[in-house]
Structure 1
Amino acid sequence: MMNIQGQRQLQGKLFITANLKLITGMHIGANSDFAPIGAVDSPFIRDCLTHEPIIPGSSLKGKIRTLLAKSRCKNLILNNIDDDDEVISRLFGSAGKKGACFARLQFFDLFLTSKSVEVFKNLDTDTYIGEIKWENTIARLTGSANPRQIERVPAGAEFEFKLVYNIEDEEQIDEDMKILAQGFQLLQMDYLGGHGSRGYGRVKFSDFKVKAINKKIDADEYEYFFEGKCS
Structure 2
Amino acid sequence: MTTQRKIFGKIKISGKLTLVTGLHIGSSKDFAPIGAVDSVVVRDPLTNRPIIPGSSLKGKLRTLLVKAIDERETGDNSLVGIKEDLPEIKRLFGASEPEIISSRLQFYDLFVDKDSVEKLRDKTDLYLTEIKFENTINRTDSVANPRQLERVPAGANFAFQLIYNVEVQGEVEADFANLAIALKFFHLDYLGGSGTRGYGKVKVAGLKVELLDLQNLTKPTEIDVVKLQSILEESEKYALSL
TM-score class, shorter-chain normalisation, is over 0.9
Separation of aligned partners in 1, 2:180 and 2:156: 22
Separation of aligned partners in 2, 1:51 and 1:219: 37
Deviations 1:164-207 (A, max 9, x none): 00000111000000000111111110000000000100000111
Separation of aligned partners in 2, 1:224 and 1:113: 25
5+ long unaligned stretches in structure 1: none
Identify the residue that residue 14 of structure 2 maps to in structure 1. 17
Provide the secondary structure at the position in 2 that maps to 1:207: strand
Taking only the aligned residue pairs, the percentage that are identical comes to: 48
Identify the residue that residue 209 of structure 2 maps to in structure 1. 210
Instruction: Say if 2:111 is the partner of 1:114.
Output: no
Identify the residue that residue 161 of structure 1 maps to in structure 2. 160
Identify the residue that residue 80 of structure 1 maps to in structure 2. 81
Separation of aligned partners in 2, 1:141 and 1:37: 26
Deviates more, 1:25-34 or 1:210-219: 210-219
Instruction: Read off the aligned partner of 1:62 and give its amino acid letter.
Output: G
| 1:122 CA drift (Å) | 4.1
5+ long unaligned stretches in structure 2: 215-219, 238-242
Instruction: Say if 2:229 is the partner of 1:223.
Output: yes
Instruction: Read off the aligned partner of 1:222 and give its amino acid letter.
Output: L
TM-score (norm 2): 0.90
Identify the residue that residue 92 of structure 1 maps to in structure 2. 93
Identify the residue that residue 30 of structure 1 maps to in structure 2. 27
Separation of aligned partners in 2, 1:143 and 1:38: 22
Identify the residue that residue 71 of structure 1 maps to in structure 2. 68
| 1:34 CA drift (Å) | 2.7
Deviations 1:144-167 (A, max 9, x none): 110100111000000001100000
Deviates more, 1:136-145 or 1:215-224: 215-224
